[in-house]
Structures are given as structure tokens and as C-alpha cells.
């Protein structure tokens, strides 16, 4: 296992304390997407990771096996595959935008969702008709917390957090909250 841990650390993974004696090494890219490598073989897996790698000694020596979606038995290609997979998940702002749209649609219901999307065709660029139906900031709050793992009202948001929040809102309005003409 030591050889695998060293390979992960050389690839930019950092130790994260998860308690219970479990090995957990996490790689986070510039968009906040996370890969966790762990030796846990059961129980509750963390929800704040985008890709989970299982570390298990095998009959063929200390090797790494990716749980999903590929089975690869060599550390370097598995790490490369996981990082490539991670890049397909979109930016943090895109993921927050998608989550925000889901929360908002659930909050509004289908009829109000359709009305809001139609109304957004004629609203100002920096406005959204969703506020006519609910406090859409609460849906964005939920989406932000889900994707980043941080509650945005628990403390002051950084300039980066504010920029991601605003980018997510702009992406959501353009891609999801405005009906096609």
C-alpha cells in the first residue's frame, strides 16, 4: 500500500482526515472537482467527491483498482483516467448551475417553472422571473452548499465564491431558466 500512497502523493493527492483509521487521499483540481482515494471497502462514502478510487491490496501485489466506472489495476493510468473523467464533469460554476436549476424546479413545480422560463425571455439580463415565485437565492444556497461542501451563509464568502455564485447564476439563467423562443 505504501507504493500506492506515494504514487498518489506524487500525483498531487493530499491526506484528508476522515476518522476511523481509514486512508483517504484527495486530489482537488482548480475548479474544485475532487477525487478521493480510500482503502475503505464499505459503509458510507463521502458525498463531496466527484470520483472515488478504491485502494485494495490484490493477489497481484499492492495495486489500485478504480471502483467506477473503470477497473484499472495500475496506479498511474488510473489516476490519469480519474483526472480525465473529472474534467468531463464541467466547471464548479456549471455544476452549481445545474444543481440550482434542479432545486428551483422542485421548489416551483412544473407550471410555475414553465411560466418563469417563458417570462425570462423578456426580463433584463441581470434579473430573473424566478423571484416572482420564490426566494431563488435559497435554491442557489442549497446548490452552492451541495457542490462546494460549504454553507455560504456560515461565514463571509470569498471573492472567488462570489464570482462562482454569479457565474453559476448566469449559466443557469442562460441554459436552464429561459425558455427557447
> 3-class DSSP state for residue 142?
helix
Distances (CA, A) of 26 to 60, 76, 88, 181: 25, 15, 18, 44
> Which tens digits make up the pLDDT trace of 79-91?
666 666 666 667 7
Give yes or no for a contact between 153 and 84, defined as CB atoms under 8 angstroms apart.
Answer: no
Q: What is the pLDDT of residue 31?
A: 72
Taking only the tens place, the pLDDT of each residue in 7-17 is 677 778 888 87
pLDDT of 14 reads: 85
Q: What is the pLDDT of residue 19?
A: 67
pLDDT of residue 40: 60
pLDDT higher at 75 or 141? 141
Is the pTM higher than 0.85? The answer reads no
Q: What digits encode the pLDDT tens for the residues 123-177? A: 988 899 999 999 999 999 999 998 888 898 888 888 888 999 999 999 999 888 8
Please give the pLDDT value at position 153: 87
User: According to the model, what pLDDT value does residue 99 have?
Assistant: 87
Pair 52, 38: CB distance under 8 Å = yes
Are the beta carbons of 71 and 77 closer than 8 angstroms? Answer: no
pLDDT tier, 45 (very low <50, low <70, confident <90, very high otherwise): low
Amino acid at each position: 500500500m505504501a507504493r500506492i500512497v506515494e504514487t498518489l502523493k506524487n500525483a498531487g493527492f493530499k491526506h484528508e482526515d476522515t476518522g476511523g483509521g481509514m486512508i483517504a487521499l484527495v486530489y482537488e483540481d482548480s475548479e474544485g472537482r475532487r477525487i478521493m482515494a480510500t482503502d475503505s471497502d464499505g459503509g458510507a462514502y463521502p458525498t463531496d467527491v466527484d470520483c472515488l478510487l478504491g485502494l485494495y491490496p490484490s493477489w497481484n501485489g499492492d495495486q489500485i483498482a478504480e471502483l467506477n466506472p473503470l477497473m484499472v489495476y495500475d496506479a498511474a493510468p488510473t489516476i490519469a483516467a480519474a483526472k480525465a473523467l473529472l474534467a468531463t464533469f464541467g466547471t464548479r460554476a456549471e455544476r452549481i448551475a445545474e444543481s440550482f436549476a434542479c432545486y428551483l424546479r422542485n421548489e416551483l413545480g412544473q407550471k410555475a417553472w414553465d411560466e418563469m422560463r417563458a417570462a425570462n425571455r423578456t426580463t433584463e439580463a441581470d434579473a430573473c422571473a424566478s423571484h416572482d415565485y420564490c426566494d431563488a437565492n435559497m435554491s442557489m444556497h442549497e446548490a452552492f452548499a451541495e457542490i462546494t461542501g460549504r454553507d455560504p451563509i456560515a461565514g463571509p464568502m470569498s471573492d472567488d465564491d462570489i464570482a462562482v455564485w454569479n457565474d453559476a447564476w448566469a449559466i443557469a439563467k442562460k441554459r436552464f431558466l429561459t425558455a427557447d423562443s
